[in-house]
C-alpha cells in the first residue's frame, strides 16, 4: 500500500515591528497565512496571552495594628481599604517562579512608594513610582507583603469560617497575568496570483514584568503542549513538506537581531553614562564600579546597584529617573554579543575604546 501524500501548508513569516517594541509593548505581523487562519490563530493566541501566562502578584498583607480591611491606620491618609487597592496595583516579578515576601517600614511625614519596598532576592518590583500611602508626622506604617505565582485571576483566599485571622492577615484579589491588553487585526494579503491569504497583526501590552517576546513564546508553548494531546496517532509532518514563500512575494523585511536590544538604539547603548547628566556623586560611584557605558548600566539590577559602594537608594532613584527619560530601566539584560550582532548587520564595528 502506497504512502499517503499530503498537500503542504503555507508557512507564515513573522516580523516584530522594531520601531515600536519596548518592555511593555510589541507588535508582531504574521503573513501569509492559509485563508481563515488569521482569525483562528489570532483568537487562540489572544485568549492564551490574556489568561495563560504565569505572573506574580501580592495575594495577602499584614499591616501592623490592623486586622481587617475596614480599619483606619493612625497617621495615614488612606484607610485600609484604599491601602489594599493601592497594594493590588503593585507590579512584581518573580525571577525564579517561586513565591516570596516583601516588607516596608516607614515613619514620619512623606509619601510611601513602591521603591521603598524591600524584597526577597527572587522578587523585583517594577512600577517603583506607584504611590502606596501618604503619611503625617506622627505616622508609622509597617506592611508585610506575601507574593505568590499563578495564572489569570484569583479571588481573595480567605479561610472558611474565620473572618479575622490570628496574625491579622488580609487576603487580596490577585491578577497574575503580566499581559494587560491584546488586540489583533486580520487583512487579506497576496501570494503570487492568489489574493485570499491572511495577514495577522497582533499587538501585545504588558505591565513591564515580562516583555512581549517572552510572553508570546510562552503562549505558543502552552498552545502547542495542549494541542499535542489531541493527536490520536503520529503527527503529520507538515513542517517537512511545507516551505516558506519566496521573500519577494511577501515584500516584508526579515526579522532583525535588533529585537534583542529591546527597542534601545545601538548608538544610545554605546554612549557613556555622562549622557544621562547624573549628579557628581552618582556618576562617580558608577564610574568607580566600572559602569562606564549606558549598556553596562541597563544590565545592572536594582539590587546590584545598591551594592555599589556609597550608592544608596537616593542615588538609585535619581539614576532611574534619568534612565526613564530615555526609555531605559535597570535589569534590561542586553547581551554584548547581541549588540555586536546588530552592529554587524549595520556594517558597524565595536572599537576597543568602546
Domains and CATH numbers, the chain: 7-53+178-220 (3.30.1360.10), 54-175 (2.170.120.12), 266-345 (1.10.150.20)
- Determine if residue 66 is left, alpha or beta; phi over 0 gives left, psi from -120 to 50 gives alpha, anything else beta: beta
Partnered with residue 55 across adjacent β-strands are 150
Count CB atoms within 10 A of the CB of residue 308.
Answer: 17
The pLDDT tens digits along the chain (354 residues) read 567 888 888 888 888 888 888 889 999 999 889 999 999 999 999 999 999 999 999 999 999 989 888 888 888 999 999 999 999 999 999 999 999 999 999 998 899 999 999 999 999 999 989 999 999 888 899 999 999 999 999 999 998 888 888 889 999 999 999 999 999 999 998 877 778 889 999 999 999 999 999 999 999 999 999 998 898 888 878 777 776 544 333 333 334 444 455 567 777 778 888 888 888 888 888 888 888 888 888 888 888 888 888 888 888 888 888 887 777 788 877 777 777 776 766 666 555 444
* Amino acid 153: pLDDT: 92
Distance, CA of 178 to CA of 85 (rounded, Å):
18
Distance, CA of 112 to CA of 91 (rounded, Å):
15
Count CB atoms within 10 A of the CB of residue 345.
Answer: 12
Strand 100-107 to strand 123-125: parallel, antiparallel, or no bridges (unpaired)?
unpaired
SS3 at position 303 = helix
282, 319 contact by CB (below 8 A): yes
Buried b (16+ CB within 10 A) or exposed e, 116-155: bbebeeebbbbebeeebbebeeebebebbbbbbbbeeebe
* Amino acid 347: pLDDT: 63
Q: Which of 234, 176, 180, 186 is nearest to 208 (CA)?
A: 180
Distance, CA of 189 to CA of 197 (rounded, Å):
5
Distance, CA of 62 to CA of 64 (rounded, Å):
6
Q: Hey, what's the cell of 352?
A: 576597543
275, 294 contact by CB (below 8 A): yes
Count CB atoms within 10 A of the CB of residue 2.
Answer: 4
* Amino acid 2: pLDDT: 61
Amino acid at each position: 500500500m502506497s504512502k499517503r501524500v499530503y498537500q503542504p501548508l503555507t508557512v507564515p513569516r513573522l516580523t516584530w515591528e522594531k520601531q515600536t517594541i519596548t518592555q511593555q509593548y510589541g507588535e508582531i505581523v504574521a503573513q501569509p497565512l492559509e485563508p481563515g487562519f488569521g482569525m483562528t490563530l489570532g483568537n487562540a493566541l489572544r485568549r492564551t496571552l490574556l489568561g495563560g501566562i504565569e505572573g506574580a502578584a501580592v495575594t495577602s498583607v499584614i499591616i501592623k495594628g490592623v486586622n481587617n480591611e475596614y480599619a483606619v491606620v493612625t497617621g495615614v491618609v488612606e484607610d485600609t481599604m484604599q491601602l489594599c487597592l493601592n497594594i493590588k496595583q503593585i507590579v512584581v516579578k518573580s525571577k525564579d517562579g517561586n513565591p516570596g515576601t516583601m516588607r516596608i517600614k516607614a515613619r514620619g511625614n512623606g509619601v510611601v512608594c513602591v521603591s521603598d519596598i524591600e524584597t526577597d532576592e527572587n522578587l523585583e518590583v517594577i512600577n517603583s513610582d506607584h504611590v502606596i500611602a501618604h503619611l503625617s508626622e506622627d505616622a508609622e506604617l509597617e506592611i508585610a507583603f506575601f507574593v505568590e505565582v499563578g495564572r489569570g485571576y484569583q479571588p481573595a483566599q480567605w479561610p472558611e469560617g474565620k473572618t479575622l485571622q490570628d496574625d491579622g492577615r488580609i487576603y487580596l484579589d490577585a491578577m497574575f497575568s503580566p499581559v494587560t491588553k491584546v488586540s489583533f487585526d486580520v487583512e487579506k494579503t497576496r501570494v503570487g496570483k492568489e489574493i485570499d491569504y491572511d495577514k495577522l497583526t497582533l499587538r501585545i501590552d504588558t505591565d513591564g514584568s515580562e516583555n512581549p517576546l517572552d510572553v508570546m513564546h510562552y503562549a505558543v508553548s502552552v498552545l502547542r503542549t495542549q494541542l499535542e494531546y489531541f493527536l490520536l496517532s503520529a503527527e503529520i509532518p507538515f513542517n517537512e513538506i511545507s516551505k516558506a514563500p519566496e521573500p519577494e512575494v511577501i515584500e516584508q523585511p526579515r526579522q532583525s537581531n535588533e529585537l534583542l536590544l529591546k527597542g534601545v538604539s545601538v548608538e544610545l547603548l554605546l554612549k557613556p553614562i555622562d549622557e544621562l547628566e547624573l549628579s557628581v556623586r552618582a556618576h562617580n560611584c558608577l564610574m568607580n564600579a566600572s559602569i562606564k557605558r549606558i549598556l553596562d548600566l541597563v544590565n545592572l539590577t536594582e539590587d546590584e546597584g545598591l551594592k555599589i559602594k556609597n550608592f544608596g537608594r537616593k542615588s538609585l532613584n535619581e539614576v532611574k529617573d534619568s534612565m526613564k527619560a530615555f526609555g531605559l530601566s535597570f535589569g534590561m539584560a542586553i547581551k554584548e554579543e547581541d549588540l555586536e550582532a546588530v552592529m554587524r548587520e549595520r556594517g558597524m564595528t565595536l572599537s576597543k575604546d568602546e
